[in-house]
Structure 1
Amino acid sequence: MKQKEMLLVLPVPFRAKGKQLFFESQAGNGLEQWLNNFDSVVVAAPLIPDSLANQNPTMIWRDTNTIANLHRLELIPLPWAYSPRKFFSCYPSVRASLAEVISRCRYLQFAIGSLFGDWAAVAALEAHKQGRAYAIHTDMVNHKVLLQETRNAKLLIWIKARAIAPLMNRYHRHIIKNCALGLWHGDDCCAAYSPLCANSYLIHNIHTKPSDRIGDIEVDQKIEDVLANTAIRICYAGRLTTMKAPIDWVKAINMARNLGVNLQAIWLGDGPLLAEMEATIKQMNLSSYIELRGFEQDRDKLLKKIKESHIMLFTHVTPESPRCLIEALVCGTPIIGYQSKYAEDLVKDFGGGMFVAINDWKQLGEVIATLSRDRQRLSQLIQEAAKNGSRFNDEVVFRERSELIKKYLP
């Protein structure tokens, strides 16, 4: 059998509709970018059950038949096995399948992310057994995210997470120590994992196109609006989940409102904390200040709303690397929120952001008030964000990653 050029084992799932496979829309764009840099690509990923896929209406599914250069792409669905029983029952057959596909691919890249059901980690074990060099990619410090997300969970879930997290940490560290190349999306990941791998690189896993960048005329209009003392327009785009701390987001806006800021805020996204967030907004009499738009499926409309905003306000409380901060910079919108290595790295050389300590929503509200009073400073941040964002697009970041893979994986 002819050798394929690159194998990707990913946590992003396939979905089956009849005999056709679907893939998450942005991940589908990623496959096209990989195909722009490699002659052929094999993708192995878990197949999500329909019952679970239907529980997340915010996932945009793309027919894999629409992926450009599909004839150079091979798709391998793997079992959905995130329970210990299912994982161990499937392990022998999946390990054998991964062994076969590893043996016929030149470059190996695995995106690890969990403990049970993490076929990318299993692929790394098999590659090491075969004496093959491989790259590891991840966009969050997974064991820490697990602990943070379950901090206020029910007792049984809390106990389970605290049993799994140290195992996951040791497992991932073992896999990373044996990898030839580490690709860490965001500085939080890089700080946590780069000491374990000699060839470690900070990367950005983004899907914005060069054409998505805010234009000079739009930047000038935004600055003109700010200097005219119009209401401060605040946005956020993402899931309403614990790791995004949406209640802190509301509290920060309430603090700014109470300090006299004329503002309008919008959260674009859905999630399990929607009811709690709605109740908090009502309790704080913020209904005329905050709009919960829900999930926006049209990406162009989403980016337009971000471009129209003066501030991307975020309250992330876990060591993750959310793409929305990069998208905000691409849209010329300053990122204002909780401090993290990832956020600080994005602006350290180019500007376009201000940060406060995690959980300090009071200080975050005061920052909004300060920027509302100092419109020149806010205008400067908008200019910095627009300039900063000009360096981010999918063509550049995937080409850089591809060059690293070809350099370090013999």
Structure 2
Amino acid sequence: MMKQKGMLLVLPVPFRAKGNQLFFEFQACHGLEQWADNFEFVVVVAPLIPESLAEQNTTMVWRDTATLSEPKRFELVPLPWAYSLPKFLSCYRSGRKSLAELISRCHYLQFVIGGLIGDWAAVAALEAKKQGRAYAIHTDRVEYEIMLEVSKKAKLPAQIKAKLLASLMFSYHKWIIKNCALGLWQGGDCYAAYASFCDNSHLIYDIHLKASDNINDRELGEKVELVANEPIIRICYAGRIDPMKAPLDWVQAIGMARQLGVNLHATWIGDGKLLDEMKALIGHLGLNSCIELVGFEPDRDKLLKRIRESHLMLFTHVTQESPRCLIESLVCGTPIIGYQSKYSEELIKEYGGGILVPMKNWKQLGELLNTLFKKRHQLSKLIKEAAINGRRFNDEVVFRERSELIKKYLD
């Protein structure tokens, strides 16, 4: 029998093939390097995205996996892109056979679930259970709740289909989690949804920033001084222009603030399918002079610079997910101002650095912007708190903590 070694990591983030070389999302590559630092060898399984879909996705930054640090530490295994039922059924047996072989020869097993049809991580959990192997489950989204939320405005047949799939997904994930040895739940929403199903549940955070990315004392001092004296407040958001982010609520909150006399400049950094609707609403509310849509920013340093230069990050997330942009904002000493969720509450509960309003109440969000515009001492205090809060987060710390949990519960 082959000696088991390293960790098997099954992910929903796709591989992309160009010739004989595999590419992977830039930040996900960084995550792989962190895992390899903690486990020496990592087998990575992910679906292979069709090139036609890869070309349509303008917000994915790809990295050649040949450039991974010490690439011999990795074995990369693409599985079929199988998100339709016929395709999934046609390749299920061969995909599960591949997973079975990998599970039998890896010491640690971690599966990042996130769907129903075509979710190889969930299939890996079924196979691990069959082999009597302990495994960890990790997720950063409550997928069945997201499915229900984004289908609310769809036509009735689509709503019925979403309710059926969400119910199946809930039961499927519950069974998988009940049989896992360790649950790693990113953010308070995931923890609240899943922790009761697993005896060893842990709230974790995911971040790919270095400790050196934190706003330094000089920058923080300058930022606090500027916000106290500038006649304008600078607002940002970084993420997809997608129903999950409620960009139209974001625009309306800014419109409310402008009606109340707030002098502001707001920047949304990102792209997405609601871009045209967002532009139309900005024009309708007469906000073209104060809202800037700059598109997707692939350069992480430039993105962090924009966030660091902003006085606050305004967010309007309406689904149960755990967006990294809120942690990145705290790292930059930029307070998070937005909709209340268990994830956002947990981030600022002990150290501050933000204010939250009830979900979907964009009017109250606009009024809050007016308060912070007038009370600069309060905004300055939030900036200082955000900087202190953000110092908790860096890649080495969060990956080491998760690795120690995996070794503790899966050995």
TM-score category of the 2 structures, normalised to the smaller one: over 0.9
Does the residue aligned with 2:38 lie in a helix, a strand or coil?
coil
Q: Which residue in 2 is equivalent to 1:140?
A: 141
Structure 1, 88-97 or 237-246: larger mean CA deviation: 88-97
Measure, in 1, the Cα distance between the counterparts of 2:352 and 2:248: 27
SS in 2 for 1:4: coil
Letter in 2 for 1:278: K
Report the equivalent of 1:332.
333
Letter in 2 for 1:333: T
2:89 aligns to what? Answer: 88
Equivalence for 2:235: 234
Tell me how far apart the structure 2 counterparts of residues 112 and 380 of structure 1 sit (CA, whole Å): 39
Shift of 1:4: 2.7
Other-structure match for 1:203: 204
Once residues 160 and 208 of structure 2 are traced to their aligned partners in structure 1, the CA distance between those partners, rounded to angstroms, is 37
CA distance in 2 between partners of 1:404 and 1:122 (Å): 23
Find the aligned partners of 1:249 and 1:348 in 2 and give their Cα distance: 23
Structure 1 segment 202-221 matched on structure 2, within 5 A: 202-221=203-222
Q: Give runs of aligned pairs for residues 347-366 of structure 1, distance below 5 A.
A: 347-366=348-367
Structure 1 equivalent of residue 102 of structure 2: 101
Distance 2:157 2:37 in 1: 46
Residue of structure 2 in register with 1:258 after alignment? 259
Residue in 2 that maps onto 1:175:
176
Q: Structure 1: which amino acid aligns with 2:80?
A: P
Take 1:41 and 1:397, find their aligned partners in 2: how far apart are those partners? 18
| Aligned-pair CA distance for 1:158 | 2.4
1-side partners of 2:30 and 2:73: how far apart? 15
1:154: how far off? 3.4
Equivalent runs, 1:5-404 vs 2, <5 Å = 5-404=6-405
Which structure 2 segments of 5+ residues have no match?
none
- Alpha-carbon separation, structure 1, partners of 2:339 and 2:374: 21
Kept after mapping to 2: 8 A contact 1:229/1:375: no
Larger CA deviation: 107-116 vs 142-151: 142-151
Separation in structure 1 between the aligned mates of residue 123 and residue 36 of structure 2, nearest angstrom: 24
Offset at 1:2?
A: 4.8
> Matched residue of 1:87: which SS?
helix
Distance (whole Å) between structure 2 residues aligned to residue 38 and residue 278 of structure 1: 47
| Deviation at residue 156 of structure 1 after TM alignment | 3.5
Q: SS of the counterpart of 1:37? A: helix
Q: State the distance in 2 between where 1:229 and 1:76 align.
A: 53
Q: Amino acid of the residue matched to residue 194 of structure 1?
A: A
Question: Displacement, 1:41?
Answer: 0.5
Secondary structure in 2 aligned to 1:164?
Answer: helix
Distance 1:208 1:38, change over 3 A: same
Distance in 2 between residues matched to 1:396 and 1:28, nearest whole Å: 17
Deviations 1:351-387 (A, max 9, x none): 0010000110000000000011110000000000000
Q: Distance in 1 between matches of 2:13 and 2:297?
A: 20
Number of aligned residue pairs: 410
CA contact (8 A) 1:5 1:106 kept: yes
Code of the residue aligned with 1:251 in structure 2: it is: Q
Letter in 1 for 2:219: E
Query: Is the contact between residue 14 and residue 45 of structure 1 (CA under 8 Å) also seen in structure 2?
Result: yes
Q: How far apart are the structure 2 equivalents of 1:315 and 1:100?
A: 44
**Contact 1:35 1:69 (C-alpha < 8 Å) held by counterparts:** no
Listed one character per residue, the Cα deviations across residues 42-66 of structure 1 (whole Å, up to 9, x for unaligned) are: 0000000011111111100000001
Amino acid at match of 2:283: K
1:209 shift after superposition: 1.1
CA contact (8 A) 1:4 1:42 kept: no
**Distance across 1 between alignment mates of 2:404 and 2:397:** 11
Q: Which amino acid aligns with 2:325?
A: C
Is the Cα–Cα contact under 8 Å of residues 237 and 267 in structure 1 kept in the other structure? yes
Counterpart-to-counterpart distance in 1, 2:230 and 2:341: 30
Distance 2:214 2:155 in 1: 43
The one-letter code sitting in structure 1 at the alignment partner of 2:56 is Q
The AA in structure 1 aligned to 2:143 is N
Aligned letter for 2:125?
A: A
Q: 1: distance between equivalents of 2:158 and 2:69?
A: 42
Structure 1 residue 159 displacement after superposition: 2.4
Contact 1:28 1:67 in 2 (8 A): yes
User: 1:158 and 1:60 mapped to 2: Cα distance?
Assistant: 33
CA RMSD, aligned part only?
0.8
Q: Secondary structure at the match of 2:103?
A: helix
Distance 2:323 2:225 in 1: 29
Q: TM-score, normalised by structure 1?
A: 0.99
> One-letter code of the match for 1:334?
P
- Determine the C-alpha separation between the residues in 2 that align with 1:50 and 1:155: 33
Q: Identity of paired residues, percent?
A: 68
Point out the more displaced range, 300-309 or 85-94: 85-94
Q: Distance in 2 between matches of 1:48 and 1:25?
A: 15
Secondary structure of residue in 1 paired with 2:78: strand
Provide the rounded CA distance (Å) in 2 between the counterparts of 1:326 and 1:149: 24
- After the TM superposition, which parts of structure 1 deviate over 6 Å for at least 4 consecutive aligned residues? none
SS of the counterpart of 1:36?
Answer: helix
